[in-house]
Amino acid sequence: MKEEQKKYLNSVGIKTNALIGRITDLLELCKKIVGEEPEDILIGEYQDEDGIRQYEYIDLYTKSYLFGIKDFIKRNFFLITPSNRRIHRITFKAENYDFTEATTTSKLTVGASTSSGDLNEMKATGSNCDHLLKIIYKYYKPFLEY
Amino acid sequence: MKEYKNWLMKEHDFEISDKTQNYYDLVTGRIKEDFVKTNFWNELISNLHEYNDEYLLKTGYNLLITYEPQIHIKEFDSFLMKTFRKNILENKNWPKRPSDGWALPNNWYSKINDIVRTLFVVKYLDGVDFFVGKLKELSDQKNLSCNSFDVFFEAREEGYYAAHTYVSHKFEIPKIDWDTKKINISIEIQITTQLQEVIRKLLHKYYRERRKRYKKEDIKWQWNPQSDEFVANYLGHILHYVEGMIVDIREKQMKEI
C-alpha cells in the first residue's frame, strides 16, 4: 500500500491493523484480477446518528479500470468497469460544503451516470468530500460526453 | 449489620468505625489511581478500536458501544456487606472459618475481588466472549504484569447475564501506620450487552436492596407473580433469549450474503 493511500485511509478513520489489512488484501485482489496497480482509493461512507462513520464500499482506481467492492467489510462482491467509459451526467448534492475545503460537518453525494444508464453513487463526509471531488475531476469529468 | 460489626469486634478484635471507612477510601482511591497507570489498562484502551475492527471484519457489525469505560470504586457499605456475605451468609462452615479463610482487615483488600471495577458494553451477545478472549490474550502478555486472569460467565437465576473477569496486579497501598505494603489485588472487568445494561440501570436500585436482604422468602419468586422479582428476573432472562436470537438472525444473514 502506498504511503499516500494509507494517509487517506487514516483520514477517513481507517487506522487499525484489522481494517488496513483487509484493504491491503483488496488491493492485492484488484491487482491480481485486472493486472494493474490501484493508484487511487475512494471509501464511500456516511455518518450515522451517533456521528460514527459507516463504510459502504471501496472503489479502487487503476490506470484503465474502476474496481468497486460494495460492503467491503463483509463481502468479496466486486465489479469492474473500464475507466474510459462515457459519462453522460454528473450530479452533485452538497451540505455544508463549498467545494473548496471541507469541514467536519460537510457531506457530498455525487452521482455519475453512463450513457448506458448505469449509475455510480458516491458518498463522502468531512474531509473525504475533498477527496471525492478530486476523484471526480480525475476519473469522471474527463469522460463527460454528450 | 450491627450484629456483624459486633461479631467482628468480639471474634476478631476489629472495630468498624469512621477511621475504617476513611482508610478504605484512601486505599481504594490509591488502587484506582495506580490501576489507570498500569501498562495493562493503557494497552487495553489503546487496543479497543483494533478489537472493534477485528470483530467488525468477522461479523460485519461493531463490537463496542463506548470506548471510554468508567472505573468505579465499591462503596464502603457495599464492601462491608460483601465481607458479611463471605464470612457469614455464604459460609458453609459457619461458625467455623470459610474454606478459603476469613475476609478480615488484614487480607480483605486481596479477598474481595471487585473493589475496583469497570464495565464494557458490547452490542451483541457473542461480543462478550470475543472481548473476554481479547482480555485473556492481553493478560498473557509478559510485559503487562498481570499476576492472574479469571473469568466467570454469570448466568444467574435472577436473570443476570454478564462476564466477570478478574485481572490481578500488585499494588502498593498505604498501611494504617502510613508505611506501605505491596499486595495482590484483583480488578473486576465486567462485560455485558447493550440490552442487559439497559436492564441493569433500570433495576439497579432493586438489585442493591435485594443484596441487603438476608432473610429467605417463604415463597419462591418463580411462583409469586405479584413479587418484584418475578417481573425483573424474567425480563433479564427474556432479554438474554432475544439477544441470542438476534445473533442467530445476524449469522444467517451473513451466510445469505
Residue B244 at interface with chain A, using a CB cutoff of 8 Å: no
CA–CA min distance A141, chain B (Å): 34
Chain A partners within 8 Å of B52 (Cβ): 16
Q: Do B52 and A16 touch (CB under 8 A)?
A: yes
Can you tell me which residue has the cell 449509475? A119
Say which residue, B199 or B27, is predicted with more confidence. B27
Residue B34 CB contacts under 8 Å (≥ 6 apart), including other chains: B171, B172
Q: Do A18 and B53 touch (CB under 8 A)?
A: yes
* Nearest-by-Cβ selection for B257 from A15, A17, A75: A75
Residue B53 at interface with chain A, using a CB cutoff of 8 Å: yes
In this prediction, the answer to ipTM > 0.90 reads: no
**Which residues pair with residue B186 across a beta bridge?**
B168
pLDDT at A26: 94
- Cα–Cα distance list, A70 to A10, A28, A75 (Å): 20, 17, 7
Kindly report the three-state secondary structure assignment for every residue of A14-71.
CCCHHHHHHHHHHHHHHHHHHCCCCCEEEEEEEECCCCCEEEEEEEEECCCEEEEEEC
Chains A, B: CB contacts within 8 A come to 28
- Cα–Cα distance list, A135 to A105, A132, B26, B136 (Å): 20, 5, 59, 44
Chain A partners within 8 Å of B53 (Cβ): 16, 18-19
Nearest residue to B107 via CA among B212, B167, B27: B27
* Nearest-by-Cβ selection for A16 from B50, B254, B257: B50
Residue A10 at interface with chain B, using a CB cutoff of 8 Å: no
Residue B224 CB contacts under 8 Å (≥ 6 apart), including other chains: B217, B230
**The model scores a pTM over 0.95:** no
SS3 state of residue A132: helix
Say which residue, B200 or A45, is predicted with more confidence. A45
CA distance A54 to A67: 20
CA distance A4 to B191: 38
Residue A48 at interface with chain B, using a CB cutoff of 8 Å: no
Summarize pLDDT for A10-31 with one digit per residue, the tens: 999 999 999 999 999 999 999 9
Torsion angle (degrees, nearest 10) of CA B208, B168, B154, B88: -50
Chain A partners within 8 Å of B45 (Cβ): none
Paired sense of beta strands A53-61 and A65-70, if any: antiparallel
Q: What's phi and psi for B151, nearest 5 deg? A: -135, 140
Q: Do B56 and A71 touch (CB under 8 A)?
A: no
- What value, to the nearest 5°, has the Cα angle with vertex B187 and ends B184 and B190? 155
Contact predicate A20/A8, CB 8 Å = no
SS3 state of residue A125: strand
* Nearest-by-Cβ selection for A16 from B53, B62, B257: B53
Q: Do B57 and A71 touch (CB under 8 A)?
A: no
For the cut 60, the answer to whether the pLDDT of residue B214 exceeds it is no
Q: How confident is the model at residue B217 (pLDDT cuts 50, 70, 90)?
A: low
Residue B60 at interface with chain A, using a CB cutoff of 8 Å: yes
> H-helix or E-strand containing B185?
strand B180-193
Summarize pLDDT for A37-90 with one digit per residue, the tens: 999 999 999 998 888 888 999 999 999 999 999 889 878 889 999 888 889 999
For the cut 60, the answer to whether the pLDDT of residue B215 exceeds it is no
- Residue of chain A with shortest Cα separation from B251: A74
Paired sense of beta strands A78-82 and A65-70, if any: antiparallel
Say which residue, A96 or B256, is predicted with more confidence. A96
Nearest residue to B14 via CA among B83, B112, B70: B83
Residue B230 CB contacts under 8 Å (≥ 6 apart), including other chains: B221, B222, B224
> H-helix or E-strand containing A94?
strand A87-95
> Cis before residue B98, ω within 30 degrees of 0?
no
Chain B partners within 8 Å of A74 (Cβ): 57, 60, 254, 257
- What value, to the nearest 5°, has the Cα angle with vertex A29 and ends A129 and B48? 60
Q: What's the average model confidence in pLDDT over B23-28?
A: 93
pLDDT at B47: 96
Q: Do A18 and B57 touch (CB under 8 A)?
A: yes
Residue A22 at interface with chain B, using a CB cutoff of 8 Å: yes
CA distance A29 to A33: 6
pLDDT at B213: 62
Torsion angle (degrees, nearest 10) of CA B126, A74, A104, A92: -150
CA distance B157 to A126: 49
CA distance A59 to A83: 12
- Residue B6 cell numbers, joined: 459486633
For the cut 90, the answer to whether the pLDDT of residue B24 exceeds it is yes
CA distance B182 to B169: 10
Q: What's the average model confidence in pLDDT over B160-164?
A: 94
Chain B partners within 8 Å of A19 (Cβ): 53, 56-57
Residue A25 at interface with chain B, using a CB cutoff of 8 Å: no
Interface test with A, best of B53, B134, B250, B253 (most A CBs within 10 A): B53
Percent of chain B past pLDDT 70, that is, above it, reads 94
- Residue B206 cell numbers, joined: 432493586
